[in-house]
């Protein structure tokens, strides 16, 4: 998944304040404080753990910090811990993998950006073999993703290709490594995976 840089439009502001960390493993109150102080997310009154933006060009962006783990929804073990954070994107003018990487860097700041940049790819889907043998467009092959394991977090990035070849939709999850087997198992039910040696 390669691409060129994203202009984060109205979402990006240079220089994140890092007084609070809105990352999985914290309490909802801690994450809400981080969201409230985050100049990229810029919550509106009443927004705490869920940010929704629709821009004049029809671009859409959401951020959701959840007590549920990534992937298929299950009953959370408790409601006192944020287990995953998800961003979704729709850009009429097109979206690339690099746009998703840059969004993580912009929202989470330099320390998480450094962790992302050295993260190791552990899952890619669909597998190169499945793509090479594809007779044409299918939804299963139109959704392409990668899961990377950093020292601090796991980063799951996904893009969806339209039947006409354009890519306008994508999403990102940030979560702790304990949930990686859950994500891998669920992806294996839906896609032909390439799983790297851990």
For 88-120, the DSSP string reads EEE-TT---HHHHHHHHHHHH-HHHHHHHHHPE
For the ranges 1-10, 14-23, 164-173, which has the lowest average pLDDT? 1-10
d(CA 152, CA 150): 5
Short-list 21, 75, 15, 22, CA closest to 40: 15
The pLDDT of residue 197: 63
Q: Among 116, 129, 109, which Cα is nearest to 19's?
A: 109
3-class secondary structure, 11: helix
pLDDT in tens, 29-56: 999 999 999 999 999 999 999 999 999 9
Mean pLDDT of 89-95: 96
Q: Is the pTM of this model over 0.95?
A: no
- Per-residue model confidence (pLDDT) at position 28: 95
Supply the pLDDT for residue 21. Answer: 67
What are the tens digits of pLDDT across the range 109-128?
999 999 999 999 999 998 88
């Amino acid at each position: 998944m390669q691409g060129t840089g994203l202009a984060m439009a109205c979402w990006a502001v240079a220089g994140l304040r890092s007084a609070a960390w809105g990352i999985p493993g914290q309490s909802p109150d801690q994450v809400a404080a981080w969201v409230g102080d985050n100049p990229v997310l810029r919550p509106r009154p009443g927004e705490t753990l869920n940010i929704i933006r629709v821009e004049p060009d029809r671009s859409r962006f959401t951020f959701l910090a959840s007590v549920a783990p990534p992937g298929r929804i299950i009953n959370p073990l408790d409601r006192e811990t944020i287990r995953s954070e998800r961003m979704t994107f729709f850009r009429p003018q097109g979206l690339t993998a690099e746009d998703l990487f840059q969004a993580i860097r912009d929202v989470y700041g330099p320390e998480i950006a450094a962790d992302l940049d050295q993260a190791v790819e552990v899952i890619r889907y669909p597998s190169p073999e499945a793509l090479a043998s594809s007779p044409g467009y299918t939804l299963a092959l139109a959704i392409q993703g990668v899961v990377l394991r950093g020292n601090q977090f796991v980063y799951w990035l996904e893009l969806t290709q339209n039947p006409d070849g354009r890519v306008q939709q994508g999403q990102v999850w940030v979560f702790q490594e304990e949930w990686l087997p859950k994500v891998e198992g669920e992806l294996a039910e839906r896609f032909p995976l390439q799983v790297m040696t851990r």
